[in-house]
Amino acid sequence: MNAVLLAVLVMLILSLLRVNVVLSLIIGALVGGLTGGLGITNTIEVFTNGLGGSAEVALSYALLGGFAIAISRTGLPNLLVDKIIQKVGKEGEERKKGLSKTLVILSLLMMACFSQNLIPIHIAFIPILVPPLLKVLNELKIDRRLIASVLTFGLVTPYMLIPAGFGQIFHQILADNMTSSGLDVDMQQIPVAMLLPALGMVVGLIIAVFISYRKPRVYQSTEIIETERVSYSKRGILFAVLAIIIALVVQIQLDSMIMGAVAGIITVYLSGTIKGTEADSLLTDGMKMMAFIGFVMLAAFGFGDVLKETGDVGVLVSNVAEMIGNNQALGALLMLLVGLLVTIGIGSSFSTIPIITTIFVPLCLELGFSPMATIALIGASAALGDAGSPASDSTLGPTSGLNVDGHHNHIWDTCVPTFIHYNIPVIIFGWIAAMVL
């Protein structure tokens, strides 16, 4: 059996059985390495070496967690929550509660979308804003699977479609790898080609909001972790906004989330809202909050390196090519499924592009796909699995905010809902794009 296929299946099955994601990734990597003929010693060595590739990502998330806690001490999240609570209707005011639910959902959707393109802070806003909102979500009886679906949509769809922020990076990687594989691509073609796959994400969001999770769901508010109520002042709010702006400017100018988070933390410290005696413990608490994501990303990089080292990714794609023959429709479907398998295993659509492009471009040219159709196929194949992967920050981020009270399971409440609502429509719309472009 193909080592990549077996490793991903083992990792997914263990995750669905509620085995810790980090442990599932390690076991999956061992199974894949042994099946691919690497041997136990070489597999462990490759996996261990792969951990270093995500060290910067892990440290970035840890510091973003510290920045989130620092911002929370200024009272800015409390101010935002208080404003939302004022909009929440009292008992019996169903119309007002309905409007409040819409306001919460739209606000989180806009912030998630902005975090990819307009204000590229990625998932850093989630641990700042979502935990204080849990009581509001509970009062409105909003299903947290709906919020997870909304957040994941905002973390994925914008970079697929809009060439700015993280979208600029995604489009550039796509264009560079396709060009190096033998097909010259104009960056302006990518948003047009990705329109239909992105529309699949929109369809999935509509289904999640209006069909799957529209019914109320009751959570036990009494079990939510109580945090110290932080009062806010004009000075604290001013410095919080200033810290966010400085963090964004530094991150963009230096292209470093680490330096951006450090600059933001220093700004909050200088405001005086955090006492010197509590600064160390608060920063440590913030790092703990994001530590789970960091460890999963570490394991995911090691897992991905083992799969690459086996060489079975190329074998898998070659086998698919043999099955296709000259059938364009079957070829498009199988390429999308291979992209889903690779991305859901390594947890990164950005890292999937170089893996699949070298094989997909010649295959698409041989099958007679147009350049636009080829862009849509490879772009959609890479984006598939970002929603639903246990190792993706697009699912880990929402879970980090929604599970602070232990009432939201990463696999069954984030990964499974987002996998079903987004990957299936993107496969359908990606296939249509390949057929009509």
In the chain, where the domains are located: 3-214+235-436
Q: How confident is the model at residue 371 (pLDDT cuts 50, 70, 90)?
A: very high
Q: Are 375 and 193 in contact (CB under 8 A)?
A: yes
| 404: amino acid identity, one letter | V
60-74 pLDDT tens trace: 767 777 777 777 777
Which alpha helices (H) appear in 2-38, and where do they start and end? Answer: 3-16, 21-35
Mean pLDDT value of segment 196-224: 87
> What's the full length of the chain, in residues?
437
How many whole angstroms separate alpha carbon 351 and alpha carbon 332? Answer: 20
How many whole angstroms separate alpha carbon 197 and alpha carbon 378? Answer: 11
How many whole angstroms separate alpha carbon 220 and alpha carbon 205? Answer: 26
Q: How confident is the model at residue 226 (pLDDT cuts 50, 70, 90)?
A: very low
Tokens of 428: 């359908």
Question: Scanning the structure block, which residue is given the tokens 């230096």?
Answer: 254
Q: Are 244 and 236 in contact (CB under 8 A)?
A: no
H helices then E strands: how many in the chain? 21, 0
| DSSP for residue 422 | I
Residue 130 has pLDDT above 50, yes or no: yes
Tokens of 134: 């849990």
How many whole angstroms separate alpha carbon 308 and alpha carbon 158? Answer: 28
Q: What is the pTM of this model?
A: 0.77
